[in-house]
Amino acid sequence: MIKGKYFALVACCFFICISVNGVSVYTKQTDVLVIGGTTSGISAGLQSARLNVPTLIVEETPWLGGMMTAAGVSATDGNHLLNSGIWNEFRSRLRAHYGGEAALATGWVSNTQFEPHIGDRIFKSMASAEPQLSVIYGYHLTKVLKQGNKVIGAIFENEQMERLTIHAKVVIDATDLGDALPMAGAAYDLGMEARSVTGEENAPETANNIVQDLTWTAVLKDYGTGADKTIKKPENYNPELFRGSCAMTVDSVLIDCEKMLNYGRLPNNKYMINWPRHGNDIYLNVVEMDWSKRRNELKKAKERTLCFIYYIQTELGYKNIGLADDEFPTADKLALIPYHREGRRLRGAQRLNINYVRDVYGGQPLYRTGISVGDYPVDHHHACNPDTPEIKFPAVPSFNIPLGALIPEKIDGLIVSDKAISVSNIMNGATRLQPCVLLTGQAAGALAALSVQENQKVREVSIRKVQQTLLDAGAYLMPLVDVNPEDKDFQSIQRVTASGILKVKGESYKWANRTWFYPDTIVTAREFSEGLNTFDNQFPNYEDLSMLTVKKAADMISAFLKKDRLADIQKLWDEKLNRKYDSNLLVTKRELSVLVDELIQPFITKTVGFDGNYL
């Protein structure tokens, strides 16, 4: 067993160890290597291993879960109504631990809030249940190994300067900041792109290298009336930094000091301190620094958080609320790592920007290649950098992330997950949130495992195979708020909407955007013909505005397939649907999805490219 500063869990790995100049050098071969046990790293590892592919996660800290656990951001943002994949599995375990859904709604910023150490425990339990998954702790990335244009592994070191070399068939960069990208020679962007580059009207006129503010989160605990948990006054304490952190009005809502604390209230009388308004956000652009310089610079973020805690205890009078002594295994009781909202962003086989999300059907049909869903609005933290250009963030519906956003333009053997996927700076404000990132990691794991199983380059793996693998794992491709995985027709509806044959309707709605399928509504014959024409432009558009009946649907499907399928439709109606067959019945979108999926089989009959167009 490899020992660094932290322990290592190695489920099925065998290492060769040699000593070079007195330094231990370990070498290991695996099929899939995941760099970072982060939010996307743990889900990537789980999904890959569940497909029976030997998978290894190498994580710097002693925890799994990244920003959800080690960074202490355990008040999750978004996807409350999208019960997708590993996100739903993780949340179900939280609910079981705390005693139900309501037990997690402790603060007002989120419907799902939990103690970070409980999240780590759950992720470790999920990892230990997978015989093909191994996890090594205490090592950080120092080098990416390449053979020509292909990534073939990586080298890591621990604080004792022991070296770990991993050779792999596929490597996933699941780091917070996309640290493997420059080492692999993969093209990426950092900061805000110019409007002329992305075509986003909300982007700045000129590009810059400004990233979002970061936060070193803390978890405080109420030790009861009469307790005094006031910390030592930080050396550079300046209370003026925190004036206005509470007792203010935001969007006509009074944020008093009690409400500010309850923003991220956690179970068991704890408080997540991740407060953006005159709180512990700080601007530090550490992305391109090496590991040592970055760690040193990030001390400023720790100090900012300690100063804010001291302000809460002294100026605001909450001396009974102190750093939780039962949360993080750190000397200062702060989170193990900072919360990075933004880092490098891959230039991928496809880049998602706000235009595709605002108008799903108006341009390239990237929705057809979706592998991860999110419903959070565009949200950036820039209050700590006065040089940031003012940007008005547009309202968006819920969305999905295209598979091409995980795959480098030119480098093989590498998949990117977490916040470093190929999205615009603006779109990063919605794709960076915890549930969405967790699901993106699950897709990365599926893609990696299929690449190994099919003996194909990552970019050659069938998009439809990846999507079907995710559907089989209970994950969403389309962010439909009104059809969940428990629905017997979930997969059919997902496949038909992800093919564009039946359309969905998105809406911007407060802090939880939505996309509707409306399964019990009826479409016109013209709408159905337009959907079939979208799938195959040789099929004519009808001008018939009457509502679609079983007979019309049968005729149109038969015409599309160039074969009479009425008998098949009658049989399907008896076996799959819950209404007595009548050719004059109006067909619901649910029923039409089942018929189309069974007879046209859109995921089988046509392949799709990274741009969403059929090949």
pLDDT tens figures, 481-538: 999 999 999 999 999 999 999 999 999 999 999 999 999 999 999 999 999 999 999 9
Which tens digit of pLDDT belongs to each residue from 534-578?
999 999 999 999 999 999 999 999 999 999 999 999 999 888 888
Which tens digit of pLDDT belongs to each residue from 319-363?
999 999 999 999 999 999 999 999 999 999 999 999 999 999 998
Arithmetic mean of pLDDT, 191-212: 96
Arithmetic mean of pLDDT, 437-445: 98
The reported pLDDT for the residue numbered 218 is 98
Residue type, 317: G
Arithmetic mean of pLDDT, 220-229: 96
**CA–CA separation, 144 vs 167, rounded Å?**
10
Confidence label for 417 from pLDDT (cuts 50, 70 and 90): very high
Tell me the torsion sign for CA atoms 40, 44, 50, 56.
negative
The reported pLDDT for the residue numbered 597 is 98
Closest CA to 212 of 519, 419, 42, 479: 419
The reported pLDDT for the residue numbered 250 is 61
DSSP per-residue letters across 487-515: STTHHHHHHHHHHTSS--EEE--TTS-EE
Percentage of residues in the chain having pLDDT higher than 90:
91
Q: pLDDT averaged over the chain?
A: 94
Residues 6 or more apart whose CB falls under 8 angstroms from that of 359 comprise: none
Arithmetic mean of pLDDT, 424-443: 98
Domains of the chain are 1-184+192-209+342-482 (3.50.50.60), 214-323 (no CATH), 525-587 (no CATH)
Which tens digit of pLDDT belongs to each residue from 88-123?
999 999 999 999 999 999 999 999 999 999 999 999
The reported pLDDT for the residue numbered 8 is 47
Closest CA to 51 of 502, 450, 538, 460: 450
Task: Check: CB of residue 387 under 8 Å from CB of residue 210.
Answer: yes
Tokens of 322: 């102190």
Global pTM value: 0.96
Q: Is the pLDDT of residue 23 over 80?
A: no
The reported pLDDT for the residue numbered 22 is 64
Task: Check: CB of residue 443 under 8 Å from CB of residue 449.
Answer: no
**CA–CA separation, 515 vs 81, rounded Å?**
11
Q: Is the pLDDT of residue 384 over 80?
A: yes
The reported pLDDT for the residue numbered 393 is 87
The reported pLDDT for the residue numbered 247 is 73
Which tens digit of pLDDT belongs to each residue from 241-285?
999 898 766 666 677 899 999 999 999 999 999 999 899 999 999
Arithmetic mean of pLDDT, 195-222: 96
Which tens digit of pLDDT belongs to each residue from 34-84?
999 999 999 999 999 999 999 999 999 999 999 999 999 999 999 999 999
